[in-house]
Structure 1
Amino acid sequence: MEKRYTSMERVLTAMSMQEPDKVPLFIMCTHYCAKFLDMSIKNYFSKPENVVKGQMMLLEKFHNDCLNPFYSVAHEYAAFGSEVIFKEDGPPNAGEPIIKKFDDILKLQPPEVKKSKILMNCLETISMLKREVGTSVPIGGGVMSPFSLPILQMGFNKYIELIYEKPELLEHLIKINEKFCTEWANMQLMAGATFITFIDSMSVSSIIPKSVYLKTGFLSAKRTIPTIKRDVAIATSSASSTSILEEILEAGIKAILVSHTDDLTEIKKKVGKRATLLGNLNGIEMCKWNRSDAEFNVKEAIRKAGAGGGFILCDSIGDIPYQVNEDILHEISESVNKWGRYPLNWR
């Protein structure tokens, strides 16, 4: 008789580089779930109860293998004293930079999580979801990397100036962010999160030269990731991380969200059994897909990376755009059931 896996068992089996009953499916939705409750995105995020209800509906609708209580990077950044700016049809945006001039860095202190209503709401959401599902479904937490958070704290152009012209101040700012990142990640784990996604959009070579990253963000990642007490996945906002794969692995990353611009076959060859791959459905193109497109892309991703385990089907951003038709998400789920059953004899 075929073993029936819980979502947790399915994911843990895949991450141990073995084949479960089928390829795990992560339909990662944050603000999208406001649709299920027929409310504005602002109202959706106003109460943990709304987010919990939205995530549980996501689980039921699409047989999802992960809950995603992450609110937005804007919510995390708000703990430093900024604001969250809501849109009608997209993820929340961050408010104005809090660092107006370089000297402001010297006055900056890491926020206390317990004194931030927004962050405490996020933790309550995780705790409520944990009470709902116990150990049957993984719950994903998330943090901005200490190296990427300054994009919000001071704006991209000023941050680039800091990197090249003020290395001592850069180090000071990153150390502040490291302290916050570690505390925030581990409090999510204590609340019931199963793993943490390390959002590091600044690290990729399309943004900053690898030679600079090696002296800055890479060193920070090597210091920070070991302080997080569970497995850490990395997300680079859909940008290719191929040029820093070895560095990602050296830093201790256990799962990599693969860009839609990368070939899953090649990434799997390079990574081998050192980390699990998530990906790499194109979330932007998904907005224009019909059901045939969805099935084709699911089948291709599984064909390229599914064999032997070590693969979780997901979009390449880690957040489904608001404009994606719900029928497409149903087709993705149905296609995983059709083409993702192990053993993958159809290949």
Structure 2
Amino acid sequence: MNSLERVLAAATFQGPDRPPVFLVLLQQGAIEMGLPLSDYYSHGDHIAEGQTRLIEKYGHDCVVGVPHIVEDTLPFGTELKYYDAGPPSVTGMSIKRYEQIPELKVPRAADHPQMRETLSAIRKLANRFKGEVPIIGAAIAPFSLPSMIMGTKHFIHLMKDETGLRDKYWQTLLNKCVEYVTQWANDQLEAGADIIVLADGMASADLLTPQEFQTDALPVLKETLSKINGFVAYEFVGKAEALLPYCKDLPVVAFLVGSDDNLTVSKGNVGGSKALVGNVNNIKLTHWDRDRVYYECRKALHSMRNRSGGFILANQGPEIPYHTSEENIRAFMEAVHDFEMN
């Protein structure tokens, strides 16, 4: 099997030759090419070349066309701060007052120079890997995007407001975010991405009760999924297992779960009908030794042992940190190659 066949077999419970491995290496391409991250992130040619070198080096089962998830905020006029050894962060909010929400124009992501570079990277990866290796795109989910363009504190205040602010602005804000995100996801699919990862950090069980998730986040997610013209994997970017029972019938191909989630419980919570992706702790990869990483990968594989599939071994989102050693990255593949499916 090639990587695409392997991932499709795992996601559809058709029996892959081995469990697939998703190594989300968004920064390591810069190391391979000897470039500062700010330069690497800014050019589609660099992203495509970096991803190509990494898959040739490690032999995992995906390439990722996006440089980092916070780029989704740029078309709204935010500013990013770049770091030498980590992903950028948003430093300037585009919504500073709730009263700005009705007048907020929904930008077209592809009109922004940085987003065009991302589409270029996806096209180049598609030219090289289409039909052989899954090409992954990504977007901040509409429920979480407001926290990135107005600030988490202000978003939560609006969500929980009982003074009339929510009635006035909440649905308008989310409608605009749904329009933006679905457009951007479809742009990536048209460029050649095989699947879109929707990252929804504000919708995890770390922040929402099951009731809040069902009332506030789930309707937005359902609307979003109905407007994306391709495969989607849903990432909680946090604890997921308590919310999975409410998501098991969603039209997604997989759920990305966190390191605090029990894989066996999570599998039961989706009824065994959807694949799970995860869930090795990404932060601890920087200080675990190779043997510990190997052990954690084997533990995940054994807990999801199933000849028919349903599991993709991966780091917990959003990415493997810059300073993770090569031997720790290789431990993922070593664990899988040593693993017996039956």
Alignment TM-score, normalising by the size of structure 1: 0.94
Counterparts of 2:73 and 2:267, CA distance in 1: 33
Report the identity percentage.
28
Question: For 2:118, what is the secondary structure of its paired residue?
Answer: helix
Runs of 4+ in structure 1 over 4 Å off = none
Name the aligned partner's letter for residue 233 of structure 2: A
Contact 1:257/1:318 (<8 A) preserved: no
Q: For 1:103-182, list aligned pairs within 5 A.
A: 103-165=99-161, 166-168=165-167, 169-182=169-182
Name the aligned partner's letter for residue 272 of structure 1: G
Of 8, 11, 20, the residue aligned with 1:12 is 8
Question: For 1:261, what is the secondary structure of its paired residue?
Answer: coil
Deviations 1:308-340 (A, max 9, x none): 30100001114101121111111221221111x
The alpha-carbon distance between structure 1 residues 204 and 46, as it changes in their structure 2 partners (threshold 3 A), is closer
Q: For 1:152-231, list aligned pairs within 5 A.
A: 152-165=148-161, 166-168=165-167, 169-231=169-231
Contact 1:73/1:94 (<8 A) preserved: no
Of 55, 77, 83, the residue aligned with 1:81 is 77
RMSD of aligned residue pairs (Cα, Å)? 1.3
Corresponding residue number in structure 1 for 2:232: 232
Of 66, 91, 97, the residue aligned with 1:70 is 66
Counterparts of 1:291 and 1:209, CA distance in 2: 36
Deviations 1:79-134 (A, max 9, x none): 11112211111111113111111111111111113321111111110000000112
Q: How many residues align?
A: 337
Corresponding residue number in structure 1 for 2:31: 35
Alignment TM-score, normalising by the size of structure 2: 0.95
Name the aligned partner's letter for residue 217 of structure 1: A
Contact 2:29/2:47 (<8 A) preserved: yes
Counterparts of 1:114 and 1:89, CA distance in 2: 27
Is there any run of 5+ residues in structure 1 with no aligned partner, and where? none
Counterparts of 1:177 and 1:267, CA distance in 2: 29
Is there any run of 5+ residues in structure 2 with no aligned partner, and where? none
Name the aligned partner's letter for residue 259 of structure 2: H
Contact 1:23/1:306 (<8 A) preserved: no
Name the aligned partner's letter for residue 43 of structure 1: D
Contact 2:22/2:313 (<8 A) preserved: yes
Name the aligned partner's letter for residue 204 of structure 1: S
Of 54, 58, 79, the residue aligned with 1:58 is 54
Contact 2:81/2:90 (<8 A) preserved: yes
1:48 equivalent to 2:47? Answer no
Corresponding residue number in structure 1 for 2:291: 292
TM-aligned CA deviation for residue 235 of structure 1: 1.2
Contact 2:110/2:184 (<8 A) preserved: no
